[in-house]
Amino acid sequence: MKIIAGLGNPGTGYADNRHNIGFMCVSAFAKQHRITFDKKQGQARVGQGEIAGTQVLLARPQTYMNSSGQAVDYLVKRYKLNLVDLVVIHDDLDLPLGKIRIRRGGGTGGHHGIESIIDWLESPDFVRVRIGIGRPVTPQISSESSVIDFVLSNFTDEEQQVITPVISRVGEVLYSLVAAGLEPTMNKYNRNGEPAPADLKNEPEK
């Protein structure tokens, strides 16, 4: 079994925020595979189905981003999951808009949702699908308040044109993770037309 959790904040007011790209991707993937989020387990909305011969549980934590670990930890323990079979989709400020990176383990990159998951699991050894949203272009680029405002605002029309096809591509990535596994998926999708590092698992944290 695999658990795929998309991170975001619950509620219609947050639905189109940059910070909710994880929700957007897991919801699109669910729709593609006719899986509905028709149950609540712990503090997550979940849907379950079979993809490429594997049972998959899709999850949207309802704890708000900074407490995502509580919902994810419950599911991991409930299903006695090996962490290599946990996939977390989240936004990444340090990747250019629309860039996708897959890795297992590593640090938080300043992402509070990932920090919460690592704290609750007491391990960083789960798979992450990181989706670049870029950083705010402001004089106070390092200001925490400007970053919060940025991630909690919606994609611009121009950005949406980039992100829409990326959501479909993330669906391909998720299918590949289920059907082919981590290494083949990293080798295929981390390249984006460029030479891949020899060991993508050890890609430096940005």
Please list the active-site residues. 19
Quick check: 151 and 94 in contact, CB under 8 A? Answer: no
CA atoms of 16 and 176, how far apart (whole Å): 26
Give the tokens for residue 97: 């808009």
CA atoms of 88 and 79, how far apart (whole Å): 16
Quick check: 4 and 11 in contact, CB under 8 A? Answer: no
Question: Which alpha helices (H) appear in 8-143, and where do they start and end?
Answer: 21-32, 68-78, 112-121
Quick check: 35 and 48 in contact, CB under 8 A? Answer: yes
